Structure 1
Amino acid sequence: MSLRISGNRLIKTLPGEETRPTLARVREAVFNIWQGQIEGCRWLDLCTGSGSMGAEALCRGASVVIGIEQHRKACQVIQENWQKIADSSQQFQVIRGDILEKLKTLSGQQFDCIYFDPPYDSNLYQPTLDAIAQYQLLSADGEIAVEHHPHRWQIQPIMGLEICREKIYGNCALTFYCLK
């Protein structure tokens, strides 16, 4: 299977439902919202899935893209896709493993754009956002975009973060966080 991203480029995706690619209209919305922030940014893609968001960030000039994904086969596909897209001035890394464990290893780094798209029914939302705040992974002017089902969002307040905007696209919603 394949998916079309910025510049009419094709990337490979895994068949089946294990990795759900972000809908094209949601992907477009995120990059329209962040259009002035992508060039030269440090991008963190959590629950990377198909890697389409990180690939899009690379196409649009992100200087660093790091993805964390648990699924082994997905990591191989993401690595291949990002390798085809990145130019010699861009850095990327695909990290395989448990998101909460791997976020610890990023402590000391900061990211301008963090995209977080876990399985909607997972219990990853609260602990992951708490870990991002705890490890201070968000840069001063950065934002986190959290993709979720619009009617199943029950996040408690996160120390140091506040909601700066919310958008709904059918059965998909985005909640954006920034530093307080």
Structure 2
Amino acid sequence: MTRRRQQSGQNTPNSGRDGFVRIISGRWRGRKLPVHDVEGLRPTTDRVKETVFNWLAQDIIESRCLDLFTGSGSLSFEALSRGASHVTMLELDKKAAEQLEKNRATLDADNAKVLNTDSLAFLKQSGTPHDVVFIDPPFRKGLLDEAIALLELNNWLSPHAVIYIEAEKEFGEPVTPAHWQLHREKTAGQVCYRLFEREGA
């Protein structure tokens, strides 16, 4: 159980919105989705999420998305609402994954897949390219660098993919491949969130 708790992602403080996440815009605008109470799980705030999806406005339509350490599913369901063609959600905690699947079914989101699995173990397989990747790992667990390396190593990224990374501020800028260009960066409290654009290697 400890390992599962450590692997649940999307760690930004939720500003008192315990128990649900809200879809901000798109097809399901205003819908609230229940969140399973997992230790350390703090869904991305509406404020941060709105900024991120403003950054992604030109990239999300018809994109194939991969959400590592999915946690609450806040980013995945927002992407689907705004026109992503498919989203794969990876979440190790069994009960959190079950809640994600219930929320997927509630929205009748046939273009989404929930996998109850370890994100890093999943990335060690040979992959299929994705256009948008969300990386919001549990803080202070040393998972980010390996996730970045595996995405490149095993063909999980399309030539011009965009990669969203959320991490604790003290972590500093993550080590990324030379062909990942930092496009946007902001800080909210103790969290720093960044968007990278990949130029074909």
Would the TM-score normalized by the shorter structure come out above 0.5?
Answer: yes
Return the alpha-carbon distance in structure 2 between the equivalents of residues 81 and 47 of structure 1: 17
Deviation readout 1:21-72 (Å, 9 max, x if unpaired):
1111111111110012112110111100011110111111111000111111
Tell me how many residue pairs correspond in the alignment: 177
The answer as to 2:22 corresponding to 1:4 is yes
**1:86 CA displacement:** 4.3
Closer, same or farther: CA 123–129 of 1 in aligned 2, 3 Å: same
Q: Which amino acid aligns with 2:197?
A: C
Closer, same or farther: CA 33–86 of 1 in aligned 2, 3 Å: farther
Report the identity percentage. 31
Match of 2:121 among 88, 95, 101: 101
Match of 1:150 among 169, 174, 185: 169
Matching residue of 2:151: 132
Q: TM-score normalized by structure 2?
A: 0.81
**1:74 CA displacement:** 0.5
Structure 2 contact 38–96 (Cα < 8 Å) conserved: no
Matching residue of 1:115: 134
Matching residue of 1:74: 96
The answer as to 2:198 corresponding to 1:176 is no
**Relative contact order, CA 8 A, sep 6+: which one is greater?**
2
Q: Which amino acid aligns with 1:53?
A: L
**1:159 CA displacement:** 5.6
**1:154 CA displacement:** 5.5
Structure 2: give runs of 5+ residues left out of the alignment: 1-18
Structure 1 contact 55–85 (Cα < 8 Å) conserved: no
Return the alpha-carbon distance in structure 2 between the equivalents of residues 66 and 16 of structure 1: 20
Return the alpha-carbon distance in structure 2 between the equivalents of residues 86 and 42 of structure 1: 18
| More strand, by proportion | 1
1:151 is paired with a residue of what secondary structure? helix
Matching residue of 2:79: 57
Closer, same or farther: CA 157–41 of 1 in aligned 2, 3 Å: closer
Structure 1 contact 95–102 (Cα < 8 Å) conserved: no
Return the alpha-carbon distance in structure 2 between the equivalents of residues 136 and 60 of structure 1: 25
Closer, same or farther: CA 36–156 of 1 in aligned 2, 3 Å: closer
Closer, same or farther: CA 55–42 of 1 in aligned 2, 3 Å: same
The answer as to 2:61 corresponding to 1:42 is no
Matching residue of 2:4: none
Structure 1: give runs of 5+ residues left out of the alignment: none
Return the alpha-carbon distance in structure 1 between the equivalents of residues 128 and 105 of structure 2: 22
Deviation readout 1:122-174 (Å, 9 max, x if unpaired):
11010000001111212122210100112222633436434333222222211
